[in-house]
Amino acid sequence: MRLPLVLFLIGVAVFAAFAGPRLKIHSQDNHFVYLADAFLHGSAELVRRPPHQNDWASYEALTLKGASAEKYGPVVKGFFTRRPGKPNEFQTLQRELLDVPYRDRGESEKHTFVSFPPAPAVLMMPAVAVVGYGANDVLFTVLFAGLNTLLLFLLLRQLQRRGHSPRGPTEQIWLTVLFAFGSAHLWCAVLGEVWFTALIVGVTFHLAYLYFAIDARRPLLAGLCLAAAFSTRATLLFAAVFFYLQLFFPNDGKRLPARELARRFALFSAPCAAVGLLLLAYNYVRFENPLEFGHIYLAGGTIPRIRDYGLFHPHFLPRNLVSAFTLTPKILTEAPWLKLSKHGMSIFLSTPALLWLARTRRVGRLGAHLALTALVLAVPIFLYQNTGWEQFSFRFALDFLPLLICLLALGRWSMGRWFRVAVVVGILVNAFGAVTFKRPGMERLYGDHLPAKLD
């Protein structure tokens, strides 16, 4: 474990150096700290008023009177949709649309929640119990990012030891450096803030899950890690595809006896089902709907694109594909000479070494399983209502990037000079993001441009 531990310490040092002054105090978007405090008080709802209105989920319990009270009852829970031309339209938690004129509205009580899955808040509870709202989400994120550096190296070494990867220690280090410092992982690791903390912690449990899921060899630990992963990033629920493919379509083609197959299936599925049921109950307690995590109630339910299309819809596909694959900075003719879009940047520009995936062929069943799982994870990401705004590069790629790094590890091509140059270029690009993104005085480097037809 000496080399992995060295990589962990180097990772923490690098991420801490880029975080710099941010390590002195928690971020302004420390939603998980507020949720951890609510849990410590035995509540799913915030017990302290949030410091701003950015990405908190809320609805109102509205007391009715007059004809509306007779028709709908004394109290309704939900929000006014603010749809053009419909000032009285009220949507309940059960998605019913009511007509509530102003004369029938009584007192209103606002209920506020954190919509993001709760695992990071659970992990923060000991720190919040000790220092309260001063718990530092930046330091928390930096430490998990360092852990990701260690876990990815162990995963790559496991692929080699089990005969799946030809990559030796030097190449494993290059791939680890590529992921840790040459991708969105670097600039996300140094911010804190609820969105980036969730991505980094999600990577941690995703990597641990893949480590145990290879060859379906440790089903219980794989299930526990996946449950923690989708309790951090709901998208990672779909990573379960990888374990089931490994179990039912083994890499060596030798199927397990039926009894052993059933045992591993149950050991993996049980913790996922148990945690899944807890999350459904958590959702019901908050929103009276087990399938509602709360994103529909961001900004009090009044974000037009969510209100009109929902959280996932083909309408969002073109914007997300552009943000992920073709969006580039604008070159200006005057200072600051460069304008980056807060919708992101092509992953092939921010992490050019991914272009070598085109050379990764004949990777067997394991490679096919990795690729299919990455595709399954990407589908909801590209249908999602948000490009990832605000971001330096396409941050949602972190949900499937570990799978792509494993695919690179399976390749038989040589990691020669040009691949290593691509890794270094990725490090420089993402280091620029870590230095400039959301830094005071750097705001003029960033805009909100997308192709005109997508704005």
Q: What pTM did the predictor assign?
A: 0.96
Query: Which of helix, strand or coil describes residue 27?
Result: coil
Provide CB contacts within 8 A for 393, sequence distance 6+.
183, 184, 187, 344, 345, 346, 347, 349, 350, 351, 429, 430, 433
**Domain residue ranges in the chain:** 2-26+119-454, 57-113
DSSP of 211-271: HHHGGG--HHHHHHHHHHHHTT-GGGGGGHHHHHHHHHS-TTS-PPPHHHHHHHHHHHHHH
Q: Kindly report each contact of residues 47-55 with a partner whose C-beta sits within 8 Å and lies 24 or more positions away, as own/partner.
A: 48/133, 49/112, 50/112, 52/28, 53/299, 54/29, 55/29, 55/31, 55/115, 55/194, 55/195, 55/298
CA–CA gap between residue 12 and residue 145 (Å, rounded): 7
Give whole-number Cα distances, 69 to 86, 179, 231, in Å.
19, 57, 39
CA–CA distances in Å: residue 382 to residues 374, 385, 387: 12, 8, 8
Which pLDDT belongs to residue 1? 80
Residue 340, strand partner residues: 446
Q: 328, 429 in Cβ contact below 8 A?
A: no
pLDDT in tens, the chain (455 residues): 899 999 999 999 999 999 999 999 999 999 999 999 999 999 999 999 999 989 999 999 999 999 999 999 999 999 999 999 999 999 999 999 999 999 999 999 999 999 999 999 999 999 999 999 999 999 999 999 999 999 999 999 999 999 999 999 999 999 999 999 999 999 999 999 999 999 999 999 999 999 999 999 999 999 999 999 999 999 999 999 999 999 999 999 899 999 999 999 999 999 999 999 999 999 999 999 999 999 999 988 888 999 889 999 999 999 999 999 999 999 998 888 999 999 999 999 999 999 999 999 889 999 999 999 999 999 999 999 999 999 999 999 999 999 999 999 999 999 999 999 999 999 999 999 999 999 999 999 999 988 866 65
Residue 455: the pLDDT is 54
pLDDT at 370: 98
Amino acid, res. 112: T
